[in-house]
Copies of this chain bind each other. A is one copy, B any other.
Amino acid sequence: MEDVTTTTAVRELPHPAREEIRLETVLHALADPTRLRIVTTLDTFGEGEGLGATCSQVDVPVSASTLTHHFRVLRESGVINQCYRGTSKISCLRRTDLDPLFPGLLDAVLNAARNV
C-alpha cells in the first residue's frame, strides 16, 4: 500500500494539528476514567525527547485492544503524541500544544484527578 523503500519503514501515526484541536473533543477524551488514568500516568513520564511511556507501562484493567482504542482517542483528540520506537509505541502528553490553546486546563484536570 505504502511506498516502503527501506527495510525499516517509519510508521507514522495521524495527529491533529494544533489548530485542529477542539475543546469539546479534549474534554470528551478526558471524561473517561480509563483515559484519565492514562493521562495522569503519562504526566509522570515527561514529554521530552526520549521520554514518554509505552502502552503496556500504563496500569489499567482493560484488555489490550481496549487500551489501543483509548490511546487512539487520546491521540486523535490531540491530548497525546505517539511515535513508534522499535517494536513499541511511545506516548506522551502534548503540553506544548495544549497549554497555549487551553491555558491551565490540563493542569487543573491533572491536579483534580490526583486528588480523587
Contact = CB atoms under 8 A, between A and B. Distances in A.
Interface of A: 22-25, 27-28, 30-33, 36, 101-105, 107-109, 111-113, 116
A113 B23 contact: yes
Given A25-B31, A27-B30, A108-B108, 10 more contacts: A23-B116, A27-B27, A28-B28, A30-B31, A101-B112, A102-B108, A103-B108, A103-B111, A103-B112, A104-B107
Interface of A is mostly: helix
Query: How many copies of the polypeptide does the oligomer hold?
Result: 2
Contacts of A108: 102-105, 107-108
Contacts of A105: 105, 108-109, 112
